[in-house]
Structure formats: C-alpha cells, structure tokens
Amino acid sequence: MRGLLFKNRRRRVLLLADTHVGYEVELRKSGVNVVSQTEKLTTAVLELVDFHNATSVAILGDVKHELPVPRESAEEVRTFLKRLAKSVPVLLIPGNHDSMLHEIASGIDGVEVGPTRGVFLGRTLLTHGHVKPNREDLEAAEALVMGHTHPAVVVRDEIGYASKEPAVLKIYTSRVKFCKSLYGEPCRRRDRVKIIVLPAAHPLITGVEVREVPQLAREGRTLLKYVEWTPDDVEIYLTDLTYMGTFSDLVAISP
C-alpha cells in the first residue's frame, strides 16, 4: 500500500501522494514507449478504498505530472478523478506539478482542491512538501504528512539480490528548531513534531533512495531542508509498514 489510512473519529481517510497521472507522456517524449498506467493506478486506489472501508481519499500533491501545461494528459487526469469521486469524496492538495489543477478538477462532483500550504485533518497537517506551511498551522499540528520526496529503500535478500522499494519515513524533529529554520524565529511550543513522508503512488515511480534524501534536502528541493536530520530519529518502513530500522541502522549495514 503506497499510502496510509488515517482514522479520525468516524472518518477513514486514505492518504496518498504523488500519483503523477500522465507520467507516461514524459517517458514517451524521451523515447521510452510505455502504456498508460492510469487504469492500473485507479484500480489500485479503489481496491484500497474498498479494503479499508475508506470514507474519503486525500492526494497530497503532484496529482498530475505533465508540465508546464497538461496538453496531452488533462483529460486522463479528469477521468482519474471522476472515477475516484464516484466511490468516495476526493481532496487534492496541489503540488509543484499541479499547474491548472483547479481548472482540470472544476465541475467534478466530489472533488475538492485545497490550499497549497496545507489542510488539517484533525490535528494532522496534510501538505505536499514543496512550500512552507503557514506558521500558525505548524504551531498547532501534532504531526505533518507530506509527499514530494518519493523515499525508497534498497532491500537485499540472503543471496545478494537487491531491489529498490518505495518507503515511508517517520521523522521526529524539534518544533522550535524547525520553526526557527523555516520562519527565522522559533515556535512557542517546545515539543517535537512528527513528520511522515509518503512514497510516490504512481506504479512506475520507485523513488529516491533514503540515503540520498539528506543531500536532496540540502539542495532545497523539499520541506525537509528545514528539518534537523538526526539519523536516530528517522524511522524507515516499507509500504506494508514493515519496520526497516532507523537511518542510522541503514547506514551501518550499507555495503
């Protein structure tokens, strides 16, 4: 499952990130002839909705892929959203690939486009991870769930075969230092905030190997740039929530 089920009272919200509908258009332009994966993606999401009895779906950014203007994939994105919305309400939080998302989603019953800086679900802040959240939201949030970074981990079996698998990161960081780095002054709350980073939901996107994420963050391409990266406070899970250890553990066993 490339996502998480969030339970809040009677709500059971399936959280996904980075569906990147239309990704195959870019691959074809670069000479890689790949058939559309949107039907496969849609079926997988709806199966998860049924399996978990989800009451809604939230996609945390990069709903679509094609930039700057979705000339070839706009109708494909609309079809994807229409099919999901026939089963459950759908919340979209725009990401850096989501130019014209409001126009594409316009008029589709059951689809809502939220603000780019994030939406609260209970005390959890949902965002894509490419822009700073509102300070008052980060001050209030018990946890932050984001996408954008596409984390993955290399798994090796007993005979040495290696595969790269999508992963979920759970990061604990100082709220005071996080706010200071983001806004120039600390938050009033002096506890730690939990950050969950979801993998890409698109079936062809495996992601960025976890050991490369700190460098990616230093380059400023993700909200994680502002997070104090303490290896013992970064937990790594496979998408079935198998615990793989901390970032320190991963580095220690790497060849």
> In the chain, how many domains are there?
1
Confidence of residue 89 (pLDDT cuts 50, 70, 90): very high
DSSP assignments along 166-226, one per residue: EEEEEEEEEHHHHHHHHHSS--S--SEEEEEEPPP-STT---EEGGGHHHHHHTTSSGGGG
Confidence of residue 2 (pLDDT cuts 50, 70, 90): confident
Q: What is the mean pLDDT of the chain?
A: 93
Flag whether the pTM goes above 0.85: yes
pLDDT in tens, 146-187: 999 999 999 887 787 888 999 999 999 999 999 999 999 988
pLDDT in tens, 123-152: 999 999 999 999 999 999 999 999 999 999
Query: Which whole number is the average pLDDT over 29-34?
Result: 86
On the question of a cis peptide bond just before residue 68, with omega within 30 degrees of 0, the verdict is: yes
Give residue 24's domain range. Answer: 4-253
Confidence of residue 254 (pLDDT cuts 50, 70, 90): low
For tokens 């996080």, name the residue.
178
Residue type present at position 215: Q
How far is residue 196's CA from residue 176's CA, in Å, rounded to a whole number? 18
- Tokens found for residue 194: 């939990």
pLDDT in tens, 198-215: 999 999 998 999 999 999
**pLDDT at position 57 over 60:** yes
**pLDDT at position 70 over 90:** no
Output the pLDDT for position 16. Answer: 98
Say which residues have a Cβ less than 8 Å from residue 47's Cβ, sequence separation at least 6.
Answer: none
Strands 111-113 vs 90-92: parallel, antiparallel or unpaired: parallel
**pLDDT at position 255 over 60:** no
